[in-house]
A and B are shown apart, each in its own frame.
Chain A
Amino acid sequence: MYPFWEGLFIHSTLFVAVVSAFHVLASHITVAAVWFNFYLEYRAVKENREELYAYLKRSALGLLVFAYVFGAMAGVGIWQTTTAANPRGISTLIHNFVLYWGSEWYMFLIDVIGIIVYYYTFGRVSKETHLRLALILALGGTGTLSIIVGILSFKLTPGMWFETGQSLHGFFNTTFWPQIALRMAFMLPITASWALFVATGLPRGFYERERIIRYAARFGLIGLAAGVLIWLLWFEPSLPVHAKAILPSRAIPQPTFPIIYFGLIATLAGLLFAYFMPHKQHRLMAIGAMVVIFGAIFGAERTREVLRKPDIIFGYMSSNQLLFNDIPVRNIESEEARLSKTGMLGNLPFVPKVDNAIGIASEKTFGYADPEVIAGRMLAIQQCGSCHSVSKQTSIEVASVALDLRSLAKLLKTRNLTTAERIDNYIKSIGAFPYMHPFVGSDAERRALARYLEVFVQSTYPETTNQARLMR
């Protein structure tokens, strides 16, 4: 439906993944850190513990700079990257939930203005007023999280929205409640690493340093235990059957799970170490903890995104950005049903018919001027490009090693699919895989796609040309 941006140097979805994981880290730090700050400030006011303000001011400045510069920008970054990588997916969310996002915007506004006011009024307003600012920040942060989880979880379990078309059904869906509880729990250990980072910046002999570290470790341990229990007893059982089938499949590449498990165990060990030996903590350890947690978040968020494969919106929109179901209550008809009859070329705005007279040998088509290859490339971009690299432009070389993480050429070579005929047969069968979507289009278009993929794999791996000849 839209022009397609495959990415440059790395695939467009990897931009989304990196920016999203970073945003999750920063935003979860923010939400729980402001609760932790509120807790400490409450104690500072009630117990008249002036020393705690040294930590609070450092933490507030750190949040102002780190969370609100990088965190907020990464939030905007998710808009930009998802818009460029999969505009129709984000469009569905926007058209369903724009006013929820508008509500989240108010919470975000409270966050951003709140942290500025909070930081710049230390010592300038009464302690009670400042404590209220801390509470507002904590509530505002929790508000943003609560709203965004409804939109995120909709992608996996739209539920009754299919029947009623009402946004409330889509928003308060079956995985909304366990996911919000899960995030609330897991953000505590994330924040413990932040508190550790800030507290270890205080002088070693500082009166409250070790006590703050122990508070933070306790927060983190409680959150970690709660998070694991919520995952096992509530979130995982609430997943739809399809998602449970995807979990053990090769749609989730290794070593995703080992990274997540390692992250959990390392976090547990680090928090216990901080709790029992607060005097031995060092800033480098806090940075290390954040790196480990970033890795675990990357793995976990990626898994969450893959669970609904091959759909962008489960049961509604495929990764190829086409609708494949009717929703009568919203007057929506399947686009795939129509396009399967009419064919793709010339029936979508940016999948035009190929002019047979073109005859241009472009490097984008590996020197082939064949209209079938040109058409096949167009179809590869539209049907496969959202998840796979369908050209060489999204593969960079680092120290002579090609980072072609999503290369379709590599995948076809690995599966010994190097001729158009074999690839065509493979395409016919992919609809049976739980994590793949069937080809949409006419038989001639499917053959054109296979032809382009043959050219792609053979141009990328010249050695396959001879193998292909032998197989013929």
Chain B
Amino acid sequence: MTVGEMLKMMRDPLGAPFYPPALQVLLVVTWVLHIFFVTAALGTSLFSIVGFVWRRRDELALKLARIAARLTPNMLGLGIVTGIAPLLFVQTIYDPLWYAANTLTGFWSVSFIFVVMGGYSLAYVFYLKGSKDGRLLFTAVLSFILLFVAGWVMHVLHSVSIRPEHWLKWYTPDGIVDTRGVTFHAYNIPRLVFLLPLQSGLSLSAIMMFVSWYLSKRGEDVPFLLWTGELGRKLGLLISPLYALFGLIWALTEGPEFGVTLTIALPLVLLGLLLTVYFARLRQPTTKGPLSLAIWLGSLLVVAIVREVIRVASLARYGYSVADYPYQFDWGSILVFSVTTVVGVMVVLYLSLVLYQANASKEGTISPRVEKLGRIATGMLGAWFGFFFLVGLYSVLFLR
């Protein structure tokens, strides 16, 4: 059995319920949100530690460290919830890859949950019990380490998944099946450094500038805001060249294996250099918080596309293409998803605006327009249950 035949046989016979390339686009886009929140959690976690360890006498640093400690668990929560979306789509169109990687690395795949739970709960412990005066700092350190380990596990799973030619050899070393799933079969350190520590630094940089802009709206202490914005800019300026460098090393170490060295190197090096120029030329970073965040999210989209190109190139060697993935339009699920998308977006928009406006001023005033949106969104959410019930009745009584 060739690798290509194996991959085709491993695809689920049910096929996808929708046009697979559309799911591929959703996979890439939702991953951007996921990696932003995850790296933001790691970045803020590290900063809260740095603030309490090395800058104990610096009031500005301590104040920012407290904000960072508060942000870490919330960013992580959002990182987890936004991680579910790409998880759904990867299983649908890349099922052979995802399932093979998870079973070959089963022990770590399952341990991942306990590792993240530990990191998440310790981040909360530090925020709730230690971030006021820096007590229980070890919880923050341990949380950071655990979250990093979780990132490492995900990196290994992905690295295993894009190397199908090795799966059988890894599963049956010396011809005897190994069902323990304890070995880290594949990894690429430059890629990991690029995606995790460096992107965490850049997410932190974007967040610092955004936070300084956001807090300026409610008239917070100006020196603190200026210092925070400038620190974000300097951090970005420091990391961006490294970002370009590690993008290049990633291309040189992983690219030849899949024949995509230039395809990785060109956009990533260019991205790192453009970010360097942006941070070098940026004046008054506090006023440019939203712009910096938008630029960073755009950069992550470029990385997400590069990452996807590598996967596509790897699989193309064996004739596996998302465009060829079997599918059959399933109108029922498309209808449920479309209606829920409209409702979900409205409600999430409302919730985000309430959070934004409640903290954007000292009084926490919510504007009448947002209140109106709230009434509509809540009504839509209530009506969704009516829709759900009616679809159910229709399915049971009339659909044949």
- A-side interface residues toward B, CB under 8 Å? 1-8, 12, 15, 19, 65, 68-70, 72-74, 76-77, 79-81, 83-85, 87-88, 90-92, 94-103, 105-110, 112-114, 116-117, 120-121, 124-126, 129, 132-133, 135-136, 139-140, 142-143, 146, 164-169, 171-172, 176-177, 323, 330-332, 346, 348-350, 352, 354-355, 358, 360, 362, 364-365, 374, 377-378, 381, 385, 391, 393
Contacts and interface: CB of A to CB of B under 8 A. Distances in A.
A12 B332 CA distance: 34
Nearest to B374: A132
B74 A101 contact: no
B388 A146 contact: yes
A136 B179 contact: no
B336 A121 contact: no
Nearest to B382: A139
Contact of B332 (A70, A171, A348): A171
A400 B167 CA distance: 37
Interface residues of B, number: 99
A424 B99 CA distance: 32
B246 interface: no
A291 B111 CA distance: 23
B176 A374 contact: yes
B53 interface: no
Interface in B77-108: 77-78, 80-85, 87-89, 91-92, 95, 98-100, 102-104, 106-107
B368 to A, nearest CB: 11
B117 A69 contact: yes
B260 interface: no
Given A8-B181, A94-B88, A95-B14, A360 B107 contact: no
Given A169-B399, A349-B10, 18 more contacts: A68-B77, A72-B80, A73-B116, A83-B103, A84-B106, A84-B109, A87-B99, A97-B333, A103-B341, A108-B84, A110-B351, A116-B355, A120-B358, A139-B378, A330-B328, A332-B14, A348-B9, A360-B176
Contacts of A169: 395, 399
Nearest to B355: A117
B366 interface: yes
Contact of A166 (B88, B181, B330): B330
B343 interface: yes
B378 to A, nearest CB: 6
Contacts of B341: 102-103, 106
Please give me the 7 A-B residue pairs with the lowest Cβ-Cβ distance, nearest first: A5-B106, A106-B344, A168-B332, A124-B364, A87-B99, A103-B340, A77-B113
B347 A79 contact: no
A177 to B, nearest CB: 8
B86 to A, nearest CB: 11
Contacts of A12: 106, 110
A338 B110 CA distance: 33
A126 B167 CA distance: 58
Contacts of A360: 174-176
B347 to A, nearest CB: 5
Interface string B172-184: 1011111111100
A98 B336 CA distance: 11
Contacts of B337: 99-100, 102-103
B175 A355 contact: yes
Contact of B378 (A8, A68, A96, A132): A132
Given A69-B121, A167-B333, A101 B88 contact: yes
B177 A364 contact: yes
B10 A76 contact: no
B333 to A, nearest CB: 4
Contacts of B116: 73, 76
B391 interface: yes
Interface of B: 1, 6, 9-10, 12-18, 23, 73-74, 77-78, 80-85, 87-89, 91-92, 95, 98-100, 102-104, 106-107, 109-110, 112-113, 116-117, 120-121, 124, 128, 167-168, 171-172, 174-182, 328, 330, 332-334, 336-337, 340-341, 343-345, 347-348, 350-352, 354-355, 358-359, 364, 366, 371, 374-375, 377-378, 381-382, 384-385, 388, 391-392, 394-396, 399-400
B104 A3 contact: yes
Given A129-B374, A140-B347, A168-B399, A95 B103 contact: no
B332 A95 contact: no
A272 B310 CA distance: 61
A388 to B, nearest CB: 13
A331 B328 CA distance: 11
Contact of A349 (B6, B112, B377, B381): B6
Contacts of B112: 80
Contacts of A103: 336-337, 340-341, 344
B15 A95 contact: yes
Contacts of A172: 391-392, 395-396
Contact of B333 (A7, A74, A98): A98
Contacts of B374: 129, 132
A330 B172 contact: no
B350 to A, nearest CB: 8
A166 to B, nearest CB: 6
Contact of B83 (A76, A165, A365): A76
Contacts of A177: 392
Q: Which of A76, A80, A97 has the most CB of B within 10 A?
A: A80
